[in-house]
Amino acid sequence: MNVVTVIHHTHIELKDRMMKVFHCAVFICLLALFFFTTDVTAQQRKRGENSGGINRLEDRIRKLEEKIEKLEKTRISEESDSELEMLLKEVETLSADKDDNKIAASTVFKGEERQQQQLNPEISMTGDFFGSYSSSSDGRIESAGDFTDGRNQMYLREAELSVMAPLDPFTRGKFFFGIPSSASTAPLSTIIEEAYLEWLNLPGSLNLKVGEFNTQFGDLNRWHDHSLPQVDRPRALVNLFGTGNFGGIGVAGNFLLPSMTAHVNELDVSVTSGGDGVSFDDSYRNLVGVARYKNYFDISRNTYFELGTSLAHGYNDEAAGHKTTLGGLDMTVKWVPAGRSHYRTTEIKTEVFFSHRETAGKDIDRFSMYSFIHNKMGARLWGGLRYSYSELPLLPTEEYEWDISPSLDFWQSEFVMLRLQYSYTERSYMENDHSVFIQSVWSMGPHKHAAY
């Protein structure tokens, strides 16, 4: 075999092998391409499946939310209906109870049953005791009489019995009986201080009073002895009316007027039979007329001011035809702090009086006044200071007296009060004196006076 033939055979063999290798490579490439295409298709198919699952999940969530919203609306509607039913049932129950009460009340009235307790009046008893000492040796001061309340002695000034009750929706009755000490009255007797009937809220804003009562001349005249801000009455009042109140038996009207000169305007008018025995004749045929016009002002939330003018006219000697005319001006300022009235209160009161008295000789014109301040210093302590000046209205000579009196009150409770008072009095017609008082006032029961 020659070389050419060998080369030719070798070339053919290499060519066959190259073709086999080429065919193997093509086959491997086609096989790889097939697997790659299959894998991509599978991934795409898987991704499509995942995307469809998410869409289906979102649809289910949306449907669940719609169902929850519908259920919530249904629940709210059911609760509203249930609450409405409960309210309706409660209204029906209350209506039934009201009807039952009406039936019960109707049954009671038809049976004419009345509770005795509701018919009982308010009954109370008050004691007024004091002991005093005076440096004066004048008999008119040492003894208990019309000139003064008495000095240098232990003195039960009064035991007062109070009976009050509403008689019906339109009227009320009040009785005040005074039982003086046996040292000043012999034999022991009972005195009617006040006993009157009141008609309330009549047409024209009128309250009408009939019976025996203290007149509304000035401010302090109506106060009973045990309720005074000091032990004794100011000399300005004692010299006009004696140691008691100026009053009588008659009729009185209280008119609540439209607001004209102040926030509240009141007019009190009375006619009484008999006077006080000092400025006016105490004969029952002597008619004494009294009028007082009061103005009330609210200065602030805690402070108010009252201004009153008074007039009284009647006979001082009916047989001789001599008359007395009294004029008065009273002013009160009171400070009561809101929310602290249990511990702090301050009151300032001043009254001025003018007296014109007809006599067989020369007419007598006199002037008198007093002023005091009362200050609450705590839950139980009150401090007070009073000044009084008076020209004697019965003497033709121009005699006068004045006094100054500090006091300290201790309220053990609303039913028991203790007081210590000192007074210095200077007079133009007799010796001056120093006086000391120790007072105790106690009350049993719901003791309530008419509003002062």
| Whole-number Cα distances in Å, 132 to 69, 159, 186, 401, 440 | 91, 18, 22, 20, 12
pLDDT digits (tens, 9 = 90+) for 360-372: 989 999 999 999 9
The pLDDT of residue 430 is 85
Q: Where in the chain are the domains? A: 1-111, 125-444
Q: What is the DSSP string of 217-282?
A: STTGGGS-GGGSSSSS--HHHHHHH-SS--EEEEEEEEEEE-SSSSSEEEEEEEEEES--SSSS--
Nearest to 257 by CA among 295, 219, 290: 295
Q: Which residues of the chain have pLDDT under 70?
A: 1-53, 78-81, 95-118, 138-151, 182-189, 447-452
The helix/strand/coil state of 303 is: strand
In the DSSP assignment, the letter for residue 48 is H
The pLDDT of residue 185 is 47
Q: Judge contact between 221 and 233, C-beta under 8 A.
A: no
**Cα–Cα dist 375/148, whole Å:** 26
The pLDDT of residue 12 is 61
The pLDDT of residue 51 is 61
Which amino acid belongs to residue 145?
G
The pLDDT of residue 349 is 97
Cβ atoms < 10 Å from Cβ of 49? 9
Question: pTM of the full predicted structure?
Answer: 0.70
Q: What is the DSSP string of 358-408?
A: --SSS-EEEEEEEEEEEEE-SSSEEEEEEEEEEE-SS-SS--EEEEEEEEE
133, 135, 140, 146 alpha-carbon torsion, rounded to 10° = -40
pLDDT digits (tens, 9 = 90+) for 427-437: 998 888 899 99
**Cα–Cα dist 345/338, whole Å:** 10
What is 125-444's CATH superfamily? Porin (2.40.160.10)
Task: Please give the helix or strand (H or E) that residue 54 lies within, else none.
Answer: helix 3-110
| Whole-number Cα distances in Å, 182 to 156, 252, 442 | 8, 33, 19
Handedness of CA 273, 278, 283, 288 (dihedral sign): negative
| Whole-number Cα distances in Å, 131 to 112, 125, 210 | 54, 20, 36
**Cα–Cα dist 69/311, whole Å:** 85
In the DSSP assignment, the letter for residue 121 is P
